[in-house]
Amino acid sequence: MSYAFLPLHVLHTARLGPTMTRVTFGGERVDECASGGFDQRLKLFLPLPGQERPVVPVDDPDWFTAWRALDPSIRSIMRTYTVRAQRPGELDVDFALHGETGPASHWASKARPGDQVTIFAPLTADNSGVDFRPPPTATRILLAGDETALPAIGGILESLPADVSTETWIEVPDPADRQELPSTPIHWLTRTNNEHLTEALPAASITVPDYAWIAGESSTVKALRRHLVQTLGMDRRTVTFTGYWRKGDTEEDLLAEVAAGRTPHTEE
């Protein structure tokens, strides 16, 4: 199997802004995670309240069915996150903090050194958890997303070769959530200033890119994709778009749709 459940623990945390915290994980097996860079996703398993470590299935080719088959009263909470960075012995995940209702947001806001989690992680860098796949000829790339996509955008910008030019649009809750990123131009939009991707990007006169990558709240992602394909005339095959979350729905709600045969993260 090219993925495995790896037990990790929190080494330290760092507040990156009012609504973002970085959790650095370590553990004996942390270096087995082979991030492909860019927007590498992983599954994060968190303990239920009162548990010391998350209950996960044993490695199983059909791990998702095995996880769902666990008794819900002990089954861990599963969420999807991005590998923001990886160094020998350390792996960073940046969590958007959106209050207490989301178990992952709540967990991250309280995370302390030693807290235990499990990740379901790729063991080879060439893996299906990297969605950023521009055509090899693409030299002009557009990136757009909200704070949940900011870790992936940071990873993409750091992984791209220098001869590729990028234009990046990021909507964050607060001006202090802006981060240093290794590329320009970055158009920062802040919700406290009533700036929104769905209005600002379509209103801007942008050069049509060779490839676009969009992620964030589902309805925003759909609206931006529609603008790129229908208004700017981009070939739909050159736009990668992923709903990272959907207003009013938990990740369990979205997974229930997957289990029912629909794909909420990529649906039109």
Site for ligand FAD, rule CB under 6 A: 41, 79-82, 94-96, 98, 101-105, 148, 151, 242, 244-251, 265
First to last CA, the chain: 31
Smaller CB separation from ligand FAD, 105 or 240: 105
Smaller CB separation from ligand FAD, 147 or 210: 147
- Encoding tokens for residue 199? 């209005």
Smaller CB separation from ligand FAD, 25 or 95: 95
Nearest-approach distance from CB 162 to ligand FAD, in angstroms: 25
Which residues have a Cβ under 8 Å from the Cβ of 262 and sit 6 or more positions away? Answer: none
Whether 45 contacts 56, CB under 8 Å = yes
Nearest-approach distance from CB 147 to ligand FAD, in angstroms: 6
How many residues comprise the chain? 268
Beta bridge partners of 144: 169, 214
Nearest-approach distance from CB 219 to ligand FAD, in angstroms: 11
Smaller CB separation from ligand FAD, 28 or 253: 253
Whether 94 contacts 41, CB under 8 Å = no
Nearest-approach distance from CB 232 to ligand FAD, in angstroms: 25
Nearest-approach distance from CB 227 to ligand FAD, in angstroms: 21
Which residues have a Cβ under 8 Å from the Cβ of 176 and sit 6 or more positions away? Answer: 17, 18
Nearest-approach distance from CB 158 to ligand FAD, in angstroms: 14
Shortest Cβ contact with ligand FAD: which residue? 102
Cα–Cα dist 233/239, whole Å: 11
